[in-house]
Structure 1
C-alpha cells in the first residue's frame, strides 16, 4: 500500500515545478535584464538623472561610458535625439 510520501514523489507536479524554475533561471541568465526591457525616460532630458541618461543610451546601443558625467551623457543624448514630427 503506497504511503502519502510515495504518492507525492510519483506525481508529475513537483518535477514540472522544478523544471519551470530551472528554465526561468536559465532564461534570466541568458537574457539578463533584457528579459524585461525598461522603458525610455520621458520629458525633458535636462531633468533626467544619470541612470535615466545611461538607460536611454543603452536602449539605442550607444554604449555609454561608465566614467562619463551626467553632462557628457546629456550632450550625447542631444546629439543623437531624433526630431519627432507629427
Structure 2
C-alpha cells in the first residue's frame, strides 16, 4: 500500500514545477534581468537631458563618467551614434 510520500514523489506536477523554477532562474541569470530591455532613445541628442545621455551610454556599455558634463556626454553620444546609410 503506497504511503503519502510515495504518492507525492511519483506525481508529475511537483517535477514540472521544479523544472519550471530551475528554467526561470537559469533564464534570469543568463539575461541578467534584462529580459525586457527598456526602449531606446530616439530623436536628436541635442535635446536630450543629462540623464538621457547617461542612460543611452549605459545601454551600450560605454561607461559614462559620473563627473562628466552634459556637453561631454553629448559629444560621446554623437561620436558613438550609428549613422543610417541609404542604399
| TM-score, with length taken from structure 1 | 0.61
Tell me, yes or no, if structure 1 residue 68 matches structure 2 residue 43: no
Cα deviation for residue 9 of structure 1 reads 4.7
Cα deviation for residue 32 of structure 1 reads 0.8
Aligned length: 85
Unaligned 5+ runs, structure 2: none
Cα deviation for residue 4 of structure 1 reads 7.4
Q: Which runs of 4+ in 1 moved over 6 A?
A: none
Query: What does residue 78 of structure 1 align with?
Result: 78
Query: What does residue 41 of structure 1 align with?
Result: 41
Unaligned 5+ runs, structure 1: none
Query: What does residue 20 of structure 1 align with?
Result: 20
